[in-house]
Structure 1
C-alpha cells in the first residue's frame, strides 16, 4: 500500500510540472526585434551619420551667438538715441545627402531665430522684406525686434540648385567681418532655380533664375502735398498700393509746371532676375566673374488722378484733365504709356587669395562691382539698408542717402536708372592659432541724372516738402544727390577652443554728398528761408563684441 501511494504521488507531480510546459509549447515564440544602430557616414566628411533604415547621410549642426554693440549718437529725435545694442541668435542646420547614379542628392535646411534690440541692431531692411517683426509698445517699436526665418531650404541634384539659397551673383559675403559693414552684394537668402556646369579643371559656370523681390530698391517717388490732387492719396507715399510720382505735361512761360500727371512708381514682379557666374577654384584661392540683369518697371497713370492744373497757362482752364489726354501728351514725347520697363544690370569681379605663407588660415578678398538700376547688386547700400529709396546712413545722421534704383524724370516721363559702384578689400590674419584679426574697407558711390533732379524742382509746389525746393535751397537739398560712402574697420578674435569665438570689432563710417553741402536735418533752423546749418560730411564709429559657439 505504501509503494502504490508513492507511485501515485510521483505521477501526479510529473503531470503538474509537465502540463504548463506542454501549454507553453503550443504558444508562438516571440522573436527579438533587431536593433538598428546609428552608423557613422564617412563619405561626406566629419559629423555625418546614416539615418537608421536608410542610405541617407545626415549632419546636424548649429550656432549660438551673443552680440552687444555701441554707436555714438548725439541726435535724439526721430527714434534716434539708442547707444547700446544687443542680439541673441540661434541657428540650426540640417544637411542630408544620398549617393545616386546621377551623383549626390542633397537637401540643406537652415533655421535662424533671434531677439535683437537697439535702433541699429534691429533691422529695418529685414522688417521691410518680412523677415522680422517688431514690438509695438510705445518705447519698443523700432528698437525691439524678433525674427524666425527659413534662411536656407534648397535641393541640389545633378548640377541643379532649387529653393532658398544664397544668390549666385555674390562672392565676398562679409566672411571676415562681425558686423558686415563693407559695401558689396550679400543676399544670403533668395528663392532661385539654378544650373551649375563644371568643366575643365576647377572651372564652373552657373545660370540662375532668381526672385526679383529681394533685389528691388524702390523708385524715388515724391510725396503728395495736396490731399485732393490724387484721389485716395495724401501725405507720404502709400507704398502698399501706389507711389505717385509726377510727370510734367505742360509748363508756364517761367518754366514752372501747370499740368502734371501722376504715375504709379511701385515696381511689380514682372520677370525674374537672371544671374550668370563664371568661377575658378584652386588650392591658391578663387576667382569669380558674375553678371545680372533685372527689370525696372512702373505702372501707368493712377486711376482717376490723371492731371491737375495748378497755375493755368493763358487761355487754359484750370482743373483735371482726362487720363486719355495725359497719355496723348506723354505719347507726343515718344513715351507710349505711363507703364514702362527698363532693364537694370550689374557686373562684379572677385578674387580670393589663400596666404598660408604668411600664416596658416590667412586670406585676402578683393571685389568690385558696377551697376545701373541695380543698387542691391552693387551692394552700395548694404550697411545703410535696402528696400527703401532713401535712408539715413546711421541713426541720427543729419541727412539721408538717395538709394533708389531709378526715378521717373518729371519732364520726359521716362525711367532714369541710377548708377552705382563699389570696391571692397578684406584681409584676415592669424597672429597665432587661437588669435586672428580682420582688416577691411570699402568705397562706393551712387549717382543720378542731374537733369532729372533739377526737373523735380519745377513741381515742388505740388509734391510737397520731399521735393527739392526752387531757388537757393535747391542746392543743399539731399533729394537725389550723388553721394559716397567710406567704411573701414578691424577686429580681434580669440578662439581658446575649437568652434568658440570671442571677439570685438570697430568700424568707421564716413558719408556725404559728392559735391556741395546738404541741409542738417537735426538742426532745422532757417535764416531768410534758407537753412542755417549744412553738412558736407558725416563721420561716426561703431563697436561690436561677439561670443559665438558653433557645433
Structure 2
C-alpha cells in the first residue's frame, strides 16, 4: 500500500511546475549516469534533453525516468528558517518571578527527498530516502535536547554554546515498499495526527517520525487496510526511574578507551534483619536493553470524507542486573555480603501497551483543504505512545517546559519496587484536537489543543521513599513534609493550546507565525519551587520553623516565526 508511510511536509497541496524542475533534473540525471554505468547507458551528450529526461506520469507530477532504466525518480526538498521567543517566566501560584535563561531560539534546516519507483508484476517497487540537516540554538525546546540523547545531533562543547547550540545531520527516512511490505527507517505506523498542523510540536500525542521497522500492510478494498509492524523500541524508551547514578565507568574496546559512562541505578533491598525488616541494599542498573521489538497493529479506513485509524502497541520495559560498579549498602552496620543478603530476583521486565483512536475529517464545505483531527490515546508503560513528553522532553527522566521552572515533570515508564525488584508500570492518557482552515487559497491557519495526565503505579512513590534514610536519594521519607512536597515521581497533568497563521504568496512558499500556551502541574497538592529557591533540601524543609516556597503549576508561552520553501 504505497503512500501509507507518511512523508510529511507543511505547504500547499498541489503539483510542482515542470519548468521550475527541468533544469534541476538535468543535473541530477547527469549524476545518475557516472562512468560506473556508462557502458550500459546511452550517451546522453548525443541525445536531445527531451529523450534523456522523459517525464514519468504514472506516479504523479515531477517524476522522470532515470536514463537507461524503467525506474521513475522524484527529487524534492525543503529549506526553513525559524525564530522563536519563549520568556523564562514561571508563574507558581503563591510566588511569581523571572529566572535567567535563554529567551530566543534560532533554527535553519534543510531537507532532501529522493523517491524512486519501478513498476513490477507485483505492483510498484518503491524506495524513499530523506536526509535532514539543521542548526539550532537557544532554549531547550528549540535545540531539541532529545536528539542529543538518541544520537541524532551534535551538541556544542564550548562554554557558552553547551546545551544551547546544536548541529544535526540525520537519516530521517530510508525505506523500501513492495507488495505490502515496508522495511527500513520510516514513521511509526502507530502515529496518526502527529503534529501535522504545528510548528512547535507542542500538543500531546505520538509522533515518532523516524524509527526502524518491518511491516506488512494488507488492503481489503472499500478503503480498509490493516498493518502489522515490528518496530525498533529504542525510539520509544523513556527511562526507568533511577534514584541516583553509579560511579562513572570506562567502556574499553580492544584496549582503547571508547567513552566514559555514568550508569543510572536505583536501590533494592538485599539485606534484612532477624524480623524481616530491610536493613541493607544494593543497586540495580536501570538502563533499558533492546530485548524484543515493539509490536504495532493498525486498522485504517480511508474515504473521500477523511480517515479513521485504530492503533495498538506492545512495548517491553526492562532493566539490567545488579550494578557491581555502583554496589554499596549496609546490613546491621556491616557491608552486604553473600553470607547475609537475600539473593535478588533476576532482571525483570514488563510488557507495556497502548491504544489510540484517531479521526480525520475533510471539511470542503467550509473551504477547500479544511481538515479536522480528533485523537485519543491510553497506555501503560508507554508514555511516548500517548505523547506526554512530546514538548517537555522525550527520553528524559524529568524535564521542564521552560528554563528555571519551579519543577520538572517525571516521565518514567516504570519504577522498580525495591522490596520485590519488580517493575511497576506508569499509566498515561492524552486527547488532542486540531483544525486547519483556509481563509483564502493563499492564507490558512490552524488551532489545536490537547490534555494529558500521567499516573505512577499505586504505592510506587512510597516504596521509593522507604530507602531514603539509607541513601538520601529519592522522594524523601514518607510522612515528612519533604516527601509531601518533593517533585520526584509526582503524578502530573499538562494541557496546551495554540494557533498559527500562514501566508503562501507563491505555491510551496510559506511565511507564518505560531503561538502556544502550555501549563503543567501536579495532579494534587503542591511541589517545592526549586526555580525560585533551589536550596530547599530535606533537613531545611522538614524543620517546621522554616518557610518553604511551593508551586502548583508552571506556565510557558512560545511564539515562533517561520519562513519555508518546499520544492
Give TM-score, length-normalised by structure 2.
0.83
Moved more, 176-185 or 245-254: 245-254
How has the CA–CA distance of structure 1 residues 543 and 253 changed in structure 2, closer, same or farther, with 3 Å as cutoff? farther
Query: Which aligned pairs between 1:244-255 and structure 2 lie closer than 5 A?
Result: 244-250=265-271
Alignment partners' CA distance in 2, 1:53 and 1:400: 58
Cα pair 2:521 2:554 within 8 Å, conserved: yes
Q: What SS is found at the alignment partner of 1:243?
A: strand
Deviation of 1:411 (Å):
2.4
Cα pair 1:223 1:464 within 8 Å, conserved: no
Partner of 1:40: 55
Partner of 2:36: none
Q: Does 1:429 align with 2:444?
A: no
Partner of 2:41: none
Over alpha carbons, which structure has the higher Rg? 1
Partner of 1:103: 123
Partner of 2:65: 50
Deviation of 1:451 (Å):
1.2
1:485-528 deviation digits (Å, cap 9, x = unpaired): 01001111111111111110000010000000000011135566
Alignment partners' CA distance in 2, 1:181 and 1:70: 14
Q: Does 1:547 align with 2:525?
A: no
Q: Does 1:185 align with 2:193?
A: no
The correspondence for 1:274, drawn from 295, 300, 311, is: 295
Alignment partners' CA distance in 2, 1:210 and 1:143: 31
Query: Which aligned pairs between 1:519-530 and structure 2 lie closer than 5 A?
Result: 519-522=528-531, 523-524=533-534, 526=536, 529=543
How has the CA–CA distance of structure 1 residues 155 and 489 changed in structure 2, closer, same or farther, with 3 Å as cutoff? same
Deviation of 1:532 (Å):
1.2
The correspondence for 2:86, drawn from 68, 71, 83, is: 71
The correspondence for 1:115, drawn from 125, 128, 135, is: 135
Q: What SS is found at the alignment partner of 1:217?
A: coil
Q: What SS is found at the alignment partner of 2:53?
A: coil
How has the CA–CA distance of structure 1 residues 253 and 147 changed in structure 2, closer, same or farther, with 3 Å as cutoff? same
Q: What SS is found at the alignment partner of 2:52?
A: coil
Cα pair 1:262 1:301 within 8 Å, conserved: yes
Partner of 2:551: 535
The correspondence for 1:148, drawn from 169, 174, 182, is: 169
Cα pair 1:410 1:452 within 8 Å, conserved: no
Runs of 5+ consecutive residues of structure 2 not aligned to the other structure: 1-44, 91-96, 251-258
Partner of 1:13: none
Cα pair 1:72 1:541 within 8 Å, conserved: yes
Kindly indicate whether structure 1 or structure 2 has the higher relative contact order, using CA contacts under 8 Å at least 6 residues apart.
2
Deviation of 1:252 (Å):
7.1
How has the CA–CA distance of structure 1 residues 429 and 407 changed in structure 2, closer, same or farther, with 3 Å as cutoff? same
How has the CA–CA distance of structure 1 residues 500 and 452 changed in structure 2, closer, same or farther, with 3 Å as cutoff? same
Deviation of 1:436 (Å):
1.0
How has the CA–CA distance of structure 1 residues 288 and 80 changed in structure 2, closer, same or farther, with 3 Å as cutoff? farther
Alignment partners' CA distance in 1, 2:342 and 2:189: 40
Partner of 1:468: 476
How has the CA–CA distance of structure 1 residues 33 and 200 changed in structure 2, closer, same or farther, with 3 Å as cutoff? closer
Partner of 1:338: 346
How has the CA–CA distance of structure 1 residues 232 and 136 changed in structure 2, closer, same or farther, with 3 Å as cutoff? closer
The correspondence for 2:196, drawn from 175, 184, 195, is: 175
Deviation of 1:239 (Å):
10
Moved more, 266-275 or 296-305: 296-305
Q: What SS is found at the alignment partner of 1:172?
A: coil
How has the CA–CA distance of structure 1 residues 44 and 292 changed in structure 2, closer, same or farther, with 3 Å as cutoff? same
Runs of 5+ consecutive residues of structure 1 not aligned to the other structure: 1-31, 225-229, 331-336
The correspondence for 2:390, drawn from 379, 382, 396, is: 382
Give TM-score, length-normalised by structure 1.
0.86
Alignment partners' CA distance in 1, 2:109 and 2:239: 30
Alignment partners' CA distance in 2, 1:48 and 1:149: 25
